[in-house]
């Protein structure tokens, strides 16, 4: 924990999608760097999310300012300064983790220092003890899960659905970090009876270990939707209460009535990715926001309830508190793909863009 006042703040930033991500530095006085309502966190680890890459890739030079824009939302670290008006629950020396909400902010979590107002940035909790130190670093796992766990939490709690052991869910993208958080939350917290996932055939055994009842390989010949229908018939599985798309597809829409319960039963089709799988290396606006989104959301004659889950919909502090409890109770194990040092941030970004990461990519400071 830093006790010196003058330090060098290092942050991964970009200007627009024509400029690379780079480390920018500035000298700061920790004793003068915060307001009475703010705390200063010495960041120990941060994880990369697709939204970080898309934000950079979609920042067109003719629309963006010339000021540096910071990377990163997930973090873990230690409080090293606190203002006089900060809630006494947050004290110097506390180990915390959470999600720092910003779009094009001058601050991000790919930095060794982060200043925030806990009353405004409420998605923060205490780091709870865990036996899953990654690379002997207790800060890696807490930095890996806030955004993806919050996304899974949103899918399960935000849409007014009631979950029971009779509920049925289809998750397209069981191997994604969101899909992994979802299955652990669904099974270990809500006791949902039937969760079917889709994934590459090579990942079926791995995902079974996290609790999926059945898995359908999307890399086999034929239509994925037809393979799901075959599974439903063979295993006598009724229609789903929820279809959660964590990858991006339109394949289920033509046969949605055969997969999803009627709209009148408050069933939902939710997506975190839209109609197409994202190209991390060259993101396009229409890949992120489907052209048919308004029609699916607002058409009074729509056949099914549809929702698009975005970072802007992240729930309040209750989701990070639940996530921390589940980690402590050994009910949630965030998937870690790889860990990089801060100066290797470009390698970490490239790992995410490769589409080969199986779990979260984490950067340590």
Question: 131 and 35 share a domain?
Answer: yes
- Across the chain, what does the average pLDDT equal? 92
Residue 325 maps to a domain: no
pLDDT at 130 > cutoff 80: no
When mean pLDDT is compared across 67-71, 271-275, 311-315, 348-352, the lowest value belongs to 311-315
DSSP code of residue 208: H
Instruction: Specify the pLDDT at position 290.
Output: 62
End-to-end CA distance of the chain: 12
Distance CA 192, CA 169 (A): 8
Handedness of CA 38, 46, 273, 347 (dihedral sign): positive
Handedness of CA 152, 180, 253, 283 (dihedral sign): positive
Question: 65 and 199 share a domain?
Answer: no
CB atoms within 10 A of CB 293: 15
Distance CA 108, CA 103 (A): 9
Instruction: Specify the pLDDT at position 6.
Output: 94
Question: 292 and 344 share a domain?
Answer: no
pLDDT at 286 > cutoff 70: no
Buried b or exposed e, range 187-205, using 16+ CB within 10 angstroms:
bbbbebebbbbbbbeebbe
Question: 212 and 303 share a domain?
Answer: yes
Question: 154 and 86 share a domain?
Answer: no
Residue 327 maps to a domain: no
Question: 173 and 247 share a domain?
Answer: yes
Distances (CA, A) of 222 to 225, 230, 233, 251, 252: 9, 12, 17, 12, 13
Tokens representing residue 159 in the block: 């849409």
Residue 36 maps to a domain: yes
Question: 123 and 53 share a domain?
Answer: yes
Tokens representing residue 110 in the block: 């790919």
Question: 104 and 49 share a domain?
Answer: yes
Tell me the pLDDT tens digit for each residue of 25-71.
999 999 999 999 999 999 999 999 999 998 999 899 898 899 999 99
Question: 137 and 277 share a domain?
Answer: no
Going across the sheet that includes 69-70, the strands are 22-29, 6-14, 69-70
Q: How many helices (H) and strands (E) does the chain have?
A: 11, 16
Tell me the pLDDT tens digit for each residue of 216-267.
999 999 999 999 999 999 999 999 999 999 999 999 999 999 999 999 999 9
Distance CA 284, CA 201 (A): 29
Question: 115 and 264 share a domain?
Answer: no
Handedness of CA 212, 327, 175, 304 (dihedral sign): positive
Residue 222 maps to a domain: yes
Location of structure tokens 């983790």: 97
Confidence of residue 134 (pLDDT cuts 50, 70, 90): low
CB atoms within 10 A of CB 359: 17
Tell me the pLDDT tens digit for each residue of 175-232.
999 999 999 999 999 999 999 999 999 999 999 999 999 999 999 999 999 999 999 9
Residue 21 maps to a domain: yes
Residue 324 maps to a domain: no
Distance CA 364, CA 353 (A): 19
What is the domain count for the chain?
A: 2
Which of these, 138, 48, 126, lies nearest to 360 by C-alpha position? 48
- Compute φ and ψ for 318, nearest 5 degrees: -60, -30
Q: Under 8 Å CB-to-CB from 221, ≥6 apart: which residues?
A: none
Mean pLDDT confidence for 166-177: 97
CATH number at 28 reads: 3.90.180.10
CATH number at 185 reads: 3.40.50.720
pLDDT at 291 > cutoff 90: no
Higher model confidence: residue 139 or residue 291? Answer: 139
Beta bridge partners of residue 6, listed in sequence order: 29
DSSP H/E element including 338: strand 336-341
Tokens representing residue 283 in the block: 């993101």
Q: Which domain holds residue 218?
A: 148-312
Instruction: Specify the pLDDT at position 129.
Output: 72
Instruction: Specify the pLDDT at position 16.
Output: 95
DSSP code of residue 2: -
Residue 133 maps to a domain: yes
Question: Are 213 and 168 within 8 A, CB to CB?
Answer: no
Question: 99 and 163 share a domain?
Answer: no
Instruction: Specify the pLDDT at position 313.
Output: 73
Helix axes 146-157, 177-188, angle to 10 degrees: 50
Confidence of residue 4 (pLDDT cuts 50, 70, 90): confident
Instruction: Specify the pLDDT at position 319.
Output: 94
Instruction: Specify the pLDDT at position 70.
Output: 98
């Amino acid at each position: 924990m830093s006790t010196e006042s003058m330090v060098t703040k290092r942050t991964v930033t970009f200007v627009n999608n024509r400029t690379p991500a780079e480390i920018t530095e500035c000298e700061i006085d920790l004793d003068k760097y915060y307001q009475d309502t703010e705390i200063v966190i010495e960041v120990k680890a941060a994880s990369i999310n697709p939204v970080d890459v898309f934000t950079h890739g979609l920042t067109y030079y003719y629309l963006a300012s010339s000021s540096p824009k910071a990377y990163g939302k997930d973090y873990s670290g230690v409080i090293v300064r606190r203002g006089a008006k900060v809630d006494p629950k947050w004290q110097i020396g506390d180990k915390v983790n959470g999600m720092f909400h910003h779009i094009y902010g001058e601050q991000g979590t790919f930095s060794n220092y982060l200043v925030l107002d806990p009353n405004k940035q409420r998605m923060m909790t205490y780091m709870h003890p865990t036996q899953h130190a990654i690379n002997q670093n207790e800060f890696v796992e807490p930095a890996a899960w806030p955004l993806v766990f919050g996304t899974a939490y949103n899918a399960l709690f935000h849409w007014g659905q009631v979950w029971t052991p009779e509920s049925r869910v289809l998750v397209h993208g069981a191997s994604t970090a969101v899909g992994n958080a979802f299955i652990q939350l669904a099974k270990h917290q809500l006791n949902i009876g039937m969760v079917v996932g889709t994934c590459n055939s090579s990942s079926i055994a791995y995902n079974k270990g996290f609790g999926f009842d059945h898995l359908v390989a999307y890399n086999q010949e034929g239509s994925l939707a037809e393979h799901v229908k075959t599974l439903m018939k063979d295993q006598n599985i009724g229609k789903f209460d929820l279809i959660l798309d964590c990858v991006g597809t339109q394949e289920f829409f033509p046969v949605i009535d055969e997969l999803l319960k009627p709209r009148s039963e408050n069933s939902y089709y939710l997506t975190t990715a839209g109609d197409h799988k994202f190209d991390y290396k060259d993101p396009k606006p229409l890949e992120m926001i489907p052209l048919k989104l308004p029609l699916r959301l607002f058409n009074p004659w729509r056949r099914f309830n549809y929702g698009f889950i975005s970072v802007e919909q992240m729930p309040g502090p209750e989701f990070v508190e639940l996530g921390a409890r589940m980690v402590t109770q050994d009910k949630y194990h965030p998937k870690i793909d790889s860990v990089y040092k801060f100066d290797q941030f470009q390698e970490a970004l490239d790992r995410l863009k490769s589409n080969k990461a199986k779990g979260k990519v984490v950067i340590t400071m």
